[in-house]
Structure 1
């Protein structure tokens, strides 16, 4: 039965603590063949007044946003064409890679690239998977696309996977894979 004890400055909300416990449970299961029910995570909170580092009292840093929720929110802003809200979620170094070797850095470039391809696209989500990384979390989003081609023909059920990297609560990279080319030409 693996057991992890974490000591942290008090001040984090229950959601942040739950996300931490879930992430630690997942980390154990990536290395050990442990049943989740057998993994014990104990969070020990130290009052800020009782915590010092470098001879100075410290306050807890704000918890990072839930990575999958952040991606879903970004994609929702994109579908609603709220480009200002979507852009606010991007790091200055944000890059996108689309099928066919198309690389872009801004949402305006993406809109211009998509304009001669289809009238609109909507995503139906099957799931979001989050993986830990050295620079921050990576979120994979799976599902299907539906929408309308330029000639008015409707399409649906086209598979897609989006992969998002993030750092410090901002999206830094999006990789897109889908079967739109096969559906359009097939």
Structure 2
């Protein structure tokens, strides 16, 4: 009998646990799931090295924010053994001005090596929504 867990299922569960902790926000709890050389790149190319930095950034932009997961997909890289995990859905919460939102699309890509997240890339509609609210959008949303 094979005692090895499914690395794809394990990576998906690890990412979802990390995201749940990040949404509390519990950056210390989330940090237990990332590698020492963790790299996180937010929309616009903002780079962070730990969950506390991204939580601090979010605290400047949102009164509060959460994710409603739609899908978590993953694929094993047979050459490196890394698992690439994609989580997508909608951000919902409240802007700093008290306006609520619920249909802010996001897509996060993770690379999981062993039992740690080594990198994350984050994309969402927040910047476009902020531009629209400021009257600076180039097209209607």
TM-score bracket, normalised by the shorter chain, equals: 0.7 to 0.9
Q: 4+ residue runs of structure 1 moved beyond 4 angstroms?
A: none
Provide the C-alpha distance between the structure 1 equivalents of 2:52 and 2:29, rounded to a whole number of angstroms.
Answer: 13
Give 1:100's match in structure 2, choosing from 30, 44, 60.
Answer: 44
Partner SS, residue 53 of structure 2: helix
Partner SS, residue 12 of structure 2: helix
What residue is the counterpart of 1:89 in the other structure? 33
Instruction: Count residues in correspondence.
Output: 130
What residue is the counterpart of 1:110 in the other structure? 54
Deviation per residue, 1:41-100 (Å, 9 max, x gap):
xxxxxxxxxxxxxxxxxxxxxxxx711111000000111122222111110010100111
What residue is the counterpart of 2:71 in the other structure? 127
Provide the C-alpha distance between the structure 1 equivalents of 2:81 and 2:48, rounded to a whole number of angstroms.
Answer: 21
Q: Which of these two proteins has the greater Rg computed from alpha carbons?
A: 1
Provide the C-alpha distance between the structure 2 equivalents of 1:135 and 1:93, rounded to a whole number of angstroms.
Answer: 18
Provide the C-alpha distance between the structure 2 equivalents of 1:71 and 1:179, rounded to a whole number of angstroms.
Answer: 21
Unaligned runs of 5+ in 1: 1-9, 24-64
The alignment's TM-score, normalised by the length of structure 2, stands at 0.84
Deviation per residue, 1:93-150 (Å, 9 max, x gap):
1010011110010122212222221111111111111011224101000101111000
Give 2:119's match in structure 1, choosing from 173, 177, 182.
Answer: 173
Alignment root-mean-square deviation, CA = 1.8
Provide the C-alpha distance between the structure 2 equivalents of 1:98 and 1:85, rounded to a whole number of angstroms.
Answer: 20
Tell me if 1:157 matches 2:103: yes
The equivalences for 1:54-65 within 5 A come to none
Partner SS, residue 66 of structure 1: helix
Unaligned runs of 5+ in 2: 133-141
What residue is the counterpart of 1:138 in the other structure? 84
